[in-house]
Homo-oligomer: A and B are copies of this chain.
């Protein structure tokens, strides 16, 4: 279950046919891409500081750790709701939790945690998250 430290936001996404693997369900690694797609949308839509805003300032967000559980398979044609929320954010980065819900059944397909660090796009090295960024994302 999602711990409500900060706001939880929701994105809707369709399974794309090329996401399907030899088991005729969504391939496990694609769930990481779904969470990225949801965060990308939510950064722009809800936090008022989009992926592109960071890029223009010379920053990017990279994943440093993922813990993900696969509960129920998503299938061809399925629509999912991806709920994510920050549970911790400081100058070193942030941790976001997520849940992927099968829209048709309302059941949990996958959940877990992503740790992110911010990098300088020119050096590709980790750099400090500023107070202003932390404030914008602590909603």
Contact = CB atoms under 8 A, between A and B. Distances in A.
Interface in A60-76: 60, 62-70, 73, 76
Contacts of A30: 29
Interface stretch (A2-10, A15-23, A83-91, A129-137): A15-23
Contacts of A36: 16-18, 28-29
User: So how many copies of this chain end up in the complex?
Assistant: 4
B33 A17 contact: yes
A18 B24 CA distance: 12
A76 B60 CA distance: 13
Interface string A36-73: 11001000100000011000000010111111111001
Interface of A: 14, 16-18, 20-25, 27-30, 32-33, 36-37, 40, 44, 51-52, 60, 62-70, 73, 76-77, 119, 121, 124
